[in-house]
Structure 1
Amino acid sequence: MPKVAVLGAAGQIGSPLSLLLKMSPLVTELSLYDIVHAPGVAIDLNHIDTPSKVTGFLPDNDGLKKALAGADIVVISAGIARKPGMTRDDLFKVNAGVIQNLVIEIAKTCPNAFVLIITNPVNSTLPIAVETLKKHNVFNPAKVFGVTTLDVVRASTFVQQVLDLPDPKALKIPVVGGHSGATILPLLSQCVPAVKLTEEKRDAVTYRVQFGGDEIVQAKAGAGSATTCMAYAGFRFVSSILKAMGSESKVIEETYLYLPGVPGGKEIAAELSVDYFAVPVEFGRAGAVKAYPLGPLSGYETKLLKVAVEELKRNVSKGVSFALAGL
């Protein structure tokens, strides 16, 4: 039965994410790791009346190795969060090293696990994880992803709000590209069921999806960034992976991944001239089984796509260069 490890479990994303995972009937064992408080978070969660067992580990006494041992899914939310005035690129200086060190231990201890990266800037931290796993000869492109589900959640939520519709979950809106600013591309023209947005509302929704994190950072006045909603989005993505592992069919989620290693992805990467991109991905028991192309874009979306790709190329290059320099 599935064991999920959360790295950064005492943080503002990791803690609520761990709570949601403890509540899930799909999780048998939950392993928590952080540089502080993880054992306390684990004991706290073990007072909840669900069957899954929770353990917590600190760095001492090979805590990271113990947390990862036997893990089927590893979720990385460790690192610092954005503060007012910070961009996701500003986070890179701190979080890049955090990701690399954690992934080195994953490569050694649970090389067959799914690796899900939440830590920002995802556009750059996922390439760091990929290059690190490649260096240790354990990279499986069907199992390593950047979690961009929050962008999908925001798209349906913001369209529902602007049109005053009853249920945001009834809207299916693909969100492709990356996971910061202009690299995020909500394909509102492909919404199912179709919606009618004025140009003004289309522009406003697109901007909010791209920069929604900024409004949270500003509203929290330095006390944090998008944490609770990110925990929810992370839980939704982990749940999809767990459902696919349990042989549920047609599990599809948008995710940021190394395209050339996944069926259908090589063609998308060639068309876009970038190897990393978030697209709808179908999952099976062993991971990604198909990457779906973007489909028909509006003229507005085509223009935004060009901007997204050019920025993503720089983000990816930064992550790859960091990884190769440190290995």
Structure 2
Amino acid sequence: MVFKVAVCGAAGGIGQPLSLLLKLNTDITHLALYDIVNVPGVAADLGHINTPAVVTSHKGAETMGAALQDAQLVIIPAGIPRKPGMTRDDLFRINAGIIRDLALGAAKHCPNAFMLIISNPVNSTVPIVAEVFKAQGVYNPKRIFGVTTLDVVRASRFVTDIKGWVDPVAVRVPIVGGHSGPTIVPLLSQIQPTQDFTQAEIEALTQRIQYGGDEVVQAKDGAGSATLSMAHAGARFATAIIRAVVRGETGIVEPTYVALAAADPAHAEALRAEVSGLDHFAFPVELGKEGVHRIHPIGSVSEYEKKLLATAVKELAGSIQKGVDFVATKN
């Protein structure tokens, strides 16, 4: 089976390690690397790795179409990284236009691709992609995903930091809401394997999971944000999609930020009720050959988590509208 993956922003801090991890995936037959600078060297370097994927280089806006043409999976880490003192609102003003242009390219050259959006602020950039696809008449909510996997990865690692005997690979913490600060809601009450936490541990873990990115930004002292861990998270989610689509595996569930329109109509209203009618939200999503197979409900949560969810819903409403408004005003 031919399976082409396009990485938009492949020469960046996330794009390079992400492209390396994707090159190691033997289900990928063509890895198209797109960026506006430096991508030929990245492609040449990765092209020497003895795995099946053929690597092609696409430098400059005029090559975007060739990079995206007939791609089955498009991953977008493009944009500037967050710097010390920079909010995700600051990022939005710069990255929104980049995401819109890439979405327009994808809508034209690979409208049926699975779209994985990494570029921050995800809470707003995913609605931008959705609105562009709607305007182009190719919108399929089952195939557009905001990658929130880094929050899941961090949660597993941070739990292990407290419960040292727990295997971080085995720990699964559902993360719902969005992908920034207070919109990130770790459901520690639903952790698998089951763990007992004090309230102080719950609050400390929640704070660290929500703002783990700040640790990296501060540690890098102006030199960037979370790139290596984000590349791992992006590759993990891409691999989950590929397992479902290429291998036909079932039962794969990953939290991800999606449109509620992707839900089965029989369940959509119940899901909307859980999130006060929001159009986008991160849920545990079961993946299938068409992308979203089933959106799992939030389910039973603690009183503390109910308060976190209320805050997340309020914050997300504005972020989603910001993305919608950006596309509407730029057309």
Amino acid at match of 2:161: Q
Q: Aligned-pair distance for 1:122?
A: 0.2
Listed as ranges, the matches of 1:92-111 within 5 Å are: 92-111=92-111
Listed as ranges, the matches of 1:218-237 within 5 Å are: 218-237=218-237
Separation in structure 2 between the aligned mates of residue 269 and residue 44 of structure 1, nearest angstrom: 46
Runs (4+) off by over 6 Å:
none
Listed as ranges, the matches of 1:146-161 within 5 Å are: 146-161=146-161
**SS class of match (1:84):** coil
Listed as ranges, the matches of 1:75-154 within 5 Å are: 75-154=75-154
1:32 partnered with 2:36: no
Q: Aligned-pair distance for 1:278?
A: 0.2
> What runs of 5+ residues in structure 1 fail to find an aligned partner?
none
Aligned residue among 277, 281, 288 for 1:277: 281
- 1:156·1:171 contact (CA, 8 Å) conserved in 2? yes
- 1:8·1:78 contact (CA, 8 Å) conserved in 2? yes
The equivalent of 2:315 in structure 1 is 311
Separation in structure 2 between the aligned mates of residue 166 and residue 271 of structure 1, nearest angstrom: 31
Aligned residue among 293, 303, 320 for 1:289: 293
Q: Aligned-pair distance for 1:51?
A: 1.7
Q: Aligned-pair distance for 1:38?
A: 1.2
Separation in structure 1 between the aligned mates of residue 11 and residue 154 of structure 2, nearest angstrom: 25
Listed as ranges, the matches of 1:155-304 within 5 Å are: 155-245=155-245, 246-263=247-264, 264-273=267-276, 274-304=278-308
- 1:82·1:91 contact (CA, 8 Å) conserved in 2? yes
Which moves more between the two structures, 162-171 or 244-253? Answer: 162-171
Aligned residues: 326
- 1:152·1:174 contact (CA, 8 Å) conserved in 2? yes
Q: Aligned-pair distance for 1:271?
A: 3.1
Separation in structure 2 between the aligned mates of residue 209 and residue 243 of structure 1, nearest angstrom: 27
TM-score, normalised on structure 2? 0.97
- 2:261·2:279 contact (CA, 8 Å) conserved in 1? yes
Separation in structure 2 between the aligned mates of residue 8 and residue 235 of structure 1, nearest angstrom: 14
Q: Aligned-pair distance for 1:166?
A: 4.0
Q: Aligned-pair distance for 1:160?
A: 0.9
Separation in structure 2 between the aligned mates of residue 201 and residue 306 of structure 1, nearest angstrom: 21
1:46 partnered with 2:50: no
- 2:284·2:295 contact (CA, 8 Å) conserved in 1? yes
Separation in structure 2 between the aligned mates of residue 269 and residue 94 of structure 1, nearest angstrom: 31
Structure 1 residues 23 and 190, CA, compared in 2 at 3 Å: closer, same or farther? same
Q: Aligned-pair distance for 1:266?
A: 4.1
- 1:253·1:280 contact (CA, 8 Å) conserved in 2? yes
Amino acid at match of 1:20: L
Could you give the per-residue CA deviations for residues 137-164 of structure 1, whole angstroms, max 9, x where no partner exists? 0010110010000001111110111111
Q: Cα RMSD (Å) of the superposition? A: 1.0
TM-score, normalised on structure 1? 0.98
Amino acid at match of 2:218: Q
Which moves more between the two structures, 94-103 or 260-269? Answer: 260-269
Separation in structure 2 between the aligned mates of residue 77 and residue 311 of structure 1, nearest angstrom: 23
Separation in structure 2 between the aligned mates of residue 50 and residue 100 of structure 1, nearest angstrom: 33
Amino acid at match of 1:129: V
- 1:39·1:58 contact (CA, 8 Å) conserved in 2? yes
Separation in structure 2 between the aligned mates of residue 191 and residue 270 of structure 1, nearest angstrom: 23
Structure 1 residues 260 and 122, CA, compared in 2 at 3 Å: closer, same or farther? same
Separation in structure 2 between the aligned mates of residue 86 and residue 17 of structure 1, nearest angstrom: 24
Separation in structure 1 between the aligned mates of residue 139 and residue 317 of structure 2, nearest angstrom: 21
Separation in structure 2 between the aligned mates of residue 326 and residue 42 of structure 1, nearest angstrom: 33
**SS class of match (1:142):** helix
- 1:265·1:290 contact (CA, 8 Å) conserved in 2? no
Separation in structure 2 between the aligned mates of residue 276 and residue 266 of structure 1, nearest angstrom: 13
